[in-house]
Amino acid sequence: MSFTVDVDQNQFLPEGGRTVNAVVTVTSSADMTPARSDTSGSAEIVMVDCSGSMDVPTTKISSARAAVSAAIDVLRDGTAFAVVAGTNSAWPVFPTDGTMAIADPASRAAAKRAAMSLRASGGTAIGTWLRLSCAIFETYPAQLRHAILLTDGKNQHETPDQLQAAIGRCEGLFSCDCRGVGTDWEVAELRRISTALLGSVDIVADPAGLAADFAAMMENAMGKQVADVALRVWTPQSAVVQFVKQVAPTVADLTARRTPSGPQAGDYPTGAWGPGESRDYHVSVEVNPAGVGQEMLAARVSLVSGSDVLGQGLVRAVWTDDEALSTKINPRVAHYTGQAELASAIQDGLEARKAGDEETATAKLGRAVKLAQESGNEDTAKLLAKVVDVVDVATGTVRLKKAVADADEMALDTRSTKTVRVKKEHA
């Protein structure tokens, strides 16, 4: 099992230059096998909102039952799993004793029968669902732990601090993909969970789409082979890491999640990996300037799992008085800087629109339209076109639509961090 780490940058800095930017592409080998021989395999939990609103309309709870069954069908034999129901409290649906079952034909059939008993009643306190899932995961020593969380509403029956405390307890224990069904839930709440737990967030506007979505998420989880991989960035004593962001396939700022891992080194979590996966990271480092013609190692970027180093790449800095070299902007760095700005512009624009600040909303969403067009992000451009009328795409001139479907606005928000990739050979 191995990773390749490719660094793409303009290593030339002008005299006195301090900032070194690089796009680090990490790719796992197609024949990946687990890094450790003592792995206990995979564990999965499905958390289902069973609050009263899941019965309005009744297709939500019936579709949720079907979705749980679809996810269970995808479980690989030998995978530990459980199903949790959540309202303003939480309880184990299968197994009912708060442990984990091992997937085989009999346990899958029993779990699906149990899922058919799910009924809608009560409130919503998502932190209780997360805390119960933590306790269940802790009963089984799996290395790869993953959960799916489904809700249709706001977290009304606990405080934001209680939810945050629950998220903190889960961090590092399991990853979590979050889905909101319908349009009465809060994107920001689910994004808090999915970001902290290295998962995804999305809307399933029509309950009929839940089963296919759950099956796809579980299929993806079953493909993971190595857990808890970290991006380790070492810098010389005189250098400081300004930021580390995942920029493809989605934008995720990892800067604040650094944990020290030795002298001048810090680890940034990347979660679990499957065979043949590839992700891009934007690393920015501030260095002390050196003389013209001098070169230094600005950073060493490694992929690590426990004590195993799985791959490594080098970020360099060379000072030059050749303006043609030092002013050249690396195309991939420029592209991903724009993609990160695109995600921010969408989220800021939608927030301003909700607050009634039409001027800011128009400016931010217009900027987003321009950035989406320039980067070739066609999917995001289509989502934007459901929220604004585009007057001039080249200048980002737009008008806010008077009437926008909640589902369209929420789809734009949840998918704002999805990026278009630029391959090195096309740069």
> In this structure, are residues 177 and 200 in contact, taking their beta carbons and an 8 Å threshold?
yes
Element (H, E) at 348: helix 331-354
| Portion of the chain with pLDDT greater than 70, in percent | 97
Beta strands per DSSP E along 112-197? 144-151, 175-181
> In this structure, are residues 243 and 284 in contact, taking their beta carbons and an 8 Å threshold?
yes
Q: Tens-of-pLDDT digits for all 427 residues of the chain?
A: 689 999 999 999 999 999 999 999 999 998 876 544 344 589 999 999 999 999 999 999 999 999 999 999 999 999 999 999 999 999 999 999 999 999 999 999 999 999 999 999 999 999 999 999 999 999 999 999 999 999 999 999 999 999 999 999 999 999 999 999 999 999 999 999 999 999 999 999 999 999 999 999 999 999 999 999 999 999 999 899 999 999 999 999 999 999 999 999 999 999 999 999 999 999 999 999 999 999 999 999 999 998 999 999 999 999 999 999 999 999 999 999 999 999 999 999 999 999 999 999 999 999 999 999 999 999 999 999 999 999 999 999 999 999 999 999 999 999 999 999 987 644 4
DSSP line for 318-334: EEES-HHHHTPPPHHHH
Using alpha carbons, select from 113, 110, 149, 112 the residue that is nearest to residue 129. Answer: 149
Separation of alpha carbons 12 and 273, rounded Å: 33
Three-state secondary structure along 352-413?
Answer: HHHCCCHHHHHHHHHHHHHHHHHHCCHHHHHHHCCCEEEEECCCCEEEECCCCCHHHHHHHH
- Cis amide leading into 249 (omega within 30): yes
pTM, full prediction: 0.94
Using alpha carbons, select from 125, 185, 190 the residue that is nearest to residue 158. Answer: 125
For residue range 258-317, what is the model confidence (pLDDT) as tens digits?
999 999 999 999 999 999 999 999 999 999 999 999 999 999 999 999 899 999 999 999
- What the chain holds in terms of domains, given with CATH numbers, is 3-32+227-322 (2.60.40.3670), 42-222 (3.40.50.410), 332-426 (1.20.120.1690)
16: left (phi over 0), alpha (psi -120 to 50) or beta: left
- Cis amide leading into 57 (omega within 30): yes
For residue range 139-187, what is the model confidence (pLDDT) as tens digits?
999 999 999 999 999 999 999 999 999 999 999 999 999 999 999 999 9
Cα–Cα distance list, 412 to 183, 305, 361, 404 (Å):
13, 35, 14, 11
DSSP classification of residue 73: H
- Cis amide leading into 95 (omega within 30): yes
Separation of alpha carbons 40 and 25, rounded Å: 29
DSSP line for 171-192: TTT-EEEEEEESSSS-HHHHHH
